[in-house]
A = this chain, B = another copy of it.
Amino acid sequence: MTVSRFSLNISPMPSKKYHHGDLKNALINAGVEILAKEGIGGLSLRKVAQRAGVSHSAPYAHFPDKQSLIAAISTEGFNQLYAELDAVTSLYPYDPKKQLIEGSQAYVRFAMNNADTFKIMFSGVLEKEKEYPAFLEISHKTFERVVGIVQACQDAGILRASPSDMTAVTIWGQIHGVIALGMEGQISRTVLEHRSVQDIVAFAIEQLILS
């Protein structure tokens, strides 16, 4: 098979390259796929390499170690989570209450649809987060997004007006905590029989809303 020499790569985004292609992104995608199919326990560098069609040592040309690949996968997960939060909240530019409600539901949806990526993002599998600036940047950017929504709600009198950065942590923590407990099977059957995690998060948000 011959390939056109004339690349369509006009944008500055990375795209297919010569040889084995864009292996770095191929490895990240392979990792996400293995995560979805086999869970965290099934994620090995050698399997990722095999799925990307390269030798077991090829990843080391792009990632110094396994932790670094995990950081890249987590970063990719945060990018997607941020994008989904942004997409949903952009639908209601002048309705912070809707942003809060729909944003939190988007958060739950992301966790449910990408359970093992979500776990890897938040569950301490990644040690030494401090060493991965891209990871820190997008995770803090996500935090700032939540803060922004909460502040808008406070300005509109929808949430109690207390120091907004702590309130944001508190609210994010509540959403995140309910999901985390739900995913680990900590919420007893008697509760989950009647309502889904989605419902519980919606209930929690309702309790916080003033008007």
Contact = CB atoms under 8 A, between A and B. Distances in A.
Interface of A: 39-41, 119, 122-125, 127, 129-130, 136, 139-140, 143-144, 160, 162, 165-167, 169-170, 172-181, 183-188, 190-191, 195, 200, 203-204, 207
Nearest to A180: B180
A177 to B, nearest CB: 2
B170 A204 contact: yes
Contact of A180 (B122, B167, B200): B122
A186 B124 CA distance: 11
5 contacts: A140-B188, A143-B186, A169-B187, A173-B173, A177-B180
Contacts of A143: 186-188
A168 to B, nearest CB: 8
The 7 nearest A-B residue pairs measured at CB: A177-B177, A173-B177, A173-B178, A123-B123, A176-B177, A174-B174, A170-B204
A41 B127 contact: yes
